[in-house]
Amino acid sequence: MAKMDEATRKRVRAGRLMLAGKTPAEAAKAVGVARQTAYTWKARLDEGGIEALRAMATGRPAQLEASQLEGLRAALLQGPLVHGFGTELWTLKRVRTLIARLYGVTFSEVHVWRLLGALGFSSQKPERRAIERNEEAVRTWKRKTWPALKKSVPASDG
């Protein structure tokens, strides 16, 4: 038997209690759900037995299919420039725009964040360095100027 999540375990346990003669209210109390929830489960139980409780769909249906999510992953890996954005940086707004362009579906930025997490992407802070930065001057400053500055500042007793 496949592993059941917590919600499924509660539904099945309540269903078994009701099959054993408990009222929906008693089953609800035993598994820690609202009474109305147990009455909904009872109707499902009466229609299709315990299996109907195991197979209960939860939540709103997904607006993107698995193949579309894989397509989104591939598009993100191509980079923002390929999709007409000005820099090599993905933002939630840009990903949201890309999803709307590719699939005609609009999500909130919070949901885009969740989708990215589900696809295995995480937030990354871009390395901020000036294009004009002179690496040799930075090394010299770190090697000579910084140690001299540290010596000239008196230690404080905090």
Residues near 64 by Cβ (< 8 Å), separated by ≥ 6? 72, 99, 103, 105, 115
**Cα gap 140→115, rounded to integer Å:** 45
The per-residue pLDDT for 44 is: 93
pLDDT the model gives residue 23: 96
> For residue 121, what are its two tokens?
């992407």
16 Cβ contact list (under 8 Å, min separation 6): 50
pLDDT in tens, 34-59: 999 999 999 999 999 999 998 877 67
pLDDT tens digits for range 6-15: 889 999 999 9
- Cβ-in-10-Å burial (0-12, 13-18, 19+) of 38 comes to buried
Closest listed residue to residue 81, CA positions, set 71, 93, 94: 94
Instruction: Please give the helix or strand (H or E) that residue 113 lies within, else none.
Output: helix 109-118
Question: How open is the CA angle 67-68-74, to the nearest 5 degrees?
Answer: 95
